[in-house]
Amino acid sequence: MKPTHIEHIGIAVKNLDEAVKYYQDVMGLTCYNIEEVADQKVRTAFFKVGETKVELLESTAPDGPVAKFIDKKGEGVHHIAFAVKGIEQSLEHAEKHGVKLIDQKPRKGAEGLDIAFLHPKSTFGVLTELCEDKGE
């Protein structure tokens, strides 16, 4: 596996509008997109900082994964996404090294990227996303 950069940092927040205001007014970033991802039960807001995005995540349901995360750990960094070349091979490589995969195969994520998650129990506590922009 050879990650090229940090594609994004996913941050779980209770109130998206307040968090967007903070990242704009205090941190000086510009929110360029807000979208709802129904199957993940989240509303997301995107900012760009260098080659990395900050992705704020607000749960749209009390039983959604982001709501559960906040119940357990509080607001904060939810996952880190590494951009890779060859996501299928990267998953195979991780599995061969004993990493538990959440996604056995890549699926479509936000912004049309191919994405897959590695389980935080195998990755020293960091919910790790691999993603690849195949430009399709």
Provide the binding-site residues for a copy of itself, judged by CB under 8 A: 1-6, 9, 11-14, 18-19, 22, 25-29, 49-52, 73-77, 80, 82-83, 93-94, 97, 99, 120, 123-126
Q: Which DSSP letter does residue 75 get?
A: S
Whether the Cβ atoms of residue 130 and residue 118 lie closer than 8 Å to each other: yes
For residue 14, give Cα distances in angstroms to 55, 128, 134.
13, 21, 32
Q: How far is the CB of 110 from a copy of itself (least distance, A)?
A: 18
- Which residue number, 39 or 131, has a Cβ lying nearer to a copy of itself? 131
Give the type of residue at 112. G
Q: How far is the CB of 12 from a copy of itself (least distance, A)?
A: 8
Q: Taking the CB of residue 33, how many other CB atoms lie within 10 A of it? A: 13
- Which residue number, 22 or 40, has a Cβ lying nearer to a copy of itself? 22
